[in-house]
Structure 1
Amino acid sequence: MSALLVGGYGPDMGGAGRGIVTASAGLPGGVELIAECPSPSWLTVRGDRLVATLEGEGGLAWFVRTDAGWAPDGVVATGGHWPCHAAFLDDDTVAVACYGDGAVVVVRHGEEAPLQRLEGTGSGPLPAQEGPHAHHVHVLPDGRVLTLDLGADRLHVHRRTEDGLLERIDSLPLPEGTGPRDLLALPSGELALLGEWSCELLILDPAGVEFEIVQILALPGATPGADQAAALGLSADGRHLYAGLRGADLVAVVSLDADGARPLGAVPSGGAWPRHLLVDGELLHVANQRSDRVSTFRIGADGIPEPLGETAVAAPTCLARA
Structure 2
Amino acid sequence: MIEKILVGTYTKKHSEGIYELSLDTEKRELSEVTLVGKAGNPTYLAKSKANRVYAIDAESDNGEKVGGLKIFDASNRPFDEIGKTLAPGSSPAYVTVDEGRQLVYTANYHMGTVTVYKIEADGTLTQVDQVKHTGAGPRPEQADGPHPHFADLTPDGRLVVCDLGNDTVYIYNISDDGHLEENHRFNCARGFGPRHIIFNPDTNMAYMVGELASKVAVLAYDPAAGTLALQQGISTIPRDWTAHNGAAAVRMSADHKFLYVSNRGYNSIAVFEIAEDGTLTLIDNTPSEGDFPRDFNLNHDDQFLVVVHQNSDNATLFARDAVTGKLTKIQQDVTVPEGVAVLFED
Work out whether the TM-score is over 0.5. Answer: yes
2:248 — aligned with what?
Answer: 230
Shift of 1:23: 0.5
CA distance in 2, matches of 1:148, 1:33: 31
CA deviation vs aligned residue, 1:220-243 (integer Å, no higher than 9, x gap): 437477211011111233211111
The answer as to whether partners of 2:137 and 2:167 remain within 8 angstroms in 1 is yes
TM-score, with length taken from structure 2: 0.86
| Unmatched segments (≥5 aa) in structure 2 | 60-65
In structure 1, give the amino acid aligned to 2:56.
Answer: T
1:263 aligns with 2:263: no
Measure the CA separation in 1 of the matches of 2:319 and 2:58: 31
Query: Relative to structure 1, is the Cα distance of residues 46 and 224 closer, same or farther in structure 2, using a 3 angstrom cutoff?
Result: farther
8 Å CA contact 1:198–1:224 kept in 2: the answer is no
Q: Structure 1, residues 164-215: CA drift from partner, whole Å, max 9, x if none?
A: 2212222221111110001111242211100001111111111134311111
State yes or no: 1:251 paired with 2:269. Answer: yes
CA distance in 2, matches of 1:80, 1:218: 35
| Bigger shift: residues 117-126 or 234-243 | 234-243
Shift of 1:248: 1.0
Partner of 2:159: 145
Give distance in 1, aligned partners of 2:230 and 2:34: 43
Counterpart of 1:287 in structure 2 is 308
Q: Residues 292 and 4 of structure 1: is their aligned pair in 2 closer, same or farther, counting only changes over 3 Å?
A: same
Provide the residue aligned with 2:29 in structure 1: 27
Aligned partner letter, 1:61:
K
Give the whole-Å Cα distance in 2 for the aligned partners of 1:79 and 1:158.
Answer: 25
What RMSD in Å do the two structures reach over aligned CA positions?
2.0
Residue pair 1:249, 1:274 contacting (<8 A) in 2 also: yes
Task: Report the counterpart of residue 124 of structure 1 in structure 2.
Answer: 137
User: 1:305 maps to which residue?
Assistant: 327
Q: Which amino acid aligns with 1:24?
A: S
Shift of 1:42: 0.1
SS of 1:197's equivalent? coil
CA distance, structure 2, for counterparts of residue 205 and residue 71 of structure 1:
42
Q: How many residues align?
A: 319
Structure 2 partner of 1:51: 54
Structure 1 residue 89 displacement after superposition: 2.6
Q: Secondary structure at the match of 2:311?
A: helix
Task: Quote the Cα distance in structure 1 between the aligned partners of 2:93 and 2:233.
Answer: 26
Give the Cα separation in 1 of the matches to 2:75 and 2:312: 33
Please state how far the C-alpha of 1:268 moved relative to its aligned partner.
Answer: 0.6
Q: Residue 62 of structure 1 corresponds to which residue in structure 2? A: 71
Q: How many Å apart are 1:320 and its aligned residue?
A: 0.2
Partner letter of residue 77 of structure 1? L
Write the distance in 2 (CA, Å) between the matches of 1:112 and 1:183. Answer: 25
The answer to whether the Cα contact below 8 Å between 2:196 and 2:208 also exists between their aligned partners in 1 is: yes
Q: What does residue 160 of structure 1 align with?
A: 174
d(CA) in 2 for partners of 1:5, 1:293: 14
CA separation in 1, counterparts of 2:87 and 2:105? Answer: 10
Q: SS in structure 1 opposite 2:272?
A: strand
After superposition, the C-alpha distances for 1:243-275 in whole angstroms (9 at most, x for unaligned) are 111111111111112142111020111100010
Q: Which runs of 4+ in 1 moved over 6 A?
A: none
